[in-house]
Chain A
Amino acid sequence: EPEVTQTPSHQVTQMGQEVILRCVPISNHLYFYWYRQILGQKVEFLVSFYNNEISEKSEIFDDQFSVERPDGSNFTLKIRSTKLEDSAMYFCASNLPGPNSNQPQHFGDGTRLSIL
């Protein structure tokens, strides 16, 4: 069964450095998402992306964050000048557009980002 893959599984970065998290969504999916989960807390929506542009973003997704689909398969989340509070699991998700756009999102297993 096709799945969303994320790399790396664990990323350790010094505070203030830039980090890029990578995702390969399911191949025929057209909507892409990033979520994050700080240890012990809820899964939080960051951003959704469709047709090469951001369709929706949360208050968390400020100027420090950016997303890109650099080619036909990858979807990336860049965090500039990381802070300690960016330490979290970051999940990528994707789905098909369907009638009334009800198709479920499928999630990757995440990248654990640790900021030192």
Chain B
Amino acid sequence: DAKTTQPPSMDCAEGRAANLPCNHSTISGNEYVYWYRQIHSQGPQYIIHGLKNNETNEMASLIITEDRKSSTLILPHATLRDTAVYYCIVRPKLGTYKYIFGTGTRLKVLA
């Protein structure tokens, strides 16, 4: 089953870019990488997802390495409201649609 590894915590200065890494070395060839965040105990908020090309939307950018074994979520100008737990998710295997959440990265944006 595909698994992800993320650092437990990171700090970022307000206004600077936050770069959150994720290792998913066991990802299968056609599985996507999904990123979510959770602020306090609110529901996980979808951020972005991608397969092999880099992706950008109004919230963030996603950089996926060519071998697809890792990815980086970039918040270009972090604000205090970006303080949250960020989850990188790869569905465990083909044919399943469930998400397996890890412990994520707790990002603290500092004023």
Contact = CB atoms under 8 A, between A and B. Distances in A.
Contact of A109 (B43, B46, B98, B99): B43
Interface in A39-95: 39, 42-45, 48, 55-56, 58, 89, 91, 93, 95
Interface of A: 4, 31, 33, 35, 37, 39, 42-45, 48, 55-56, 58, 89, 91, 93, 95, 100-102, 104-110, 112
A110 B96 contact: no
Nearest to A6: B43
Interface of A is mostly: strand
Interface of B: 30, 32, 34, 36, 38, 41-46, 49, 51, 87, 96-103
Nearest to B43: A107
Q: A33, A106, A107: which has the most chain B beta carbons within 10 Å?
A: A107
Contacts of A110: 41-43
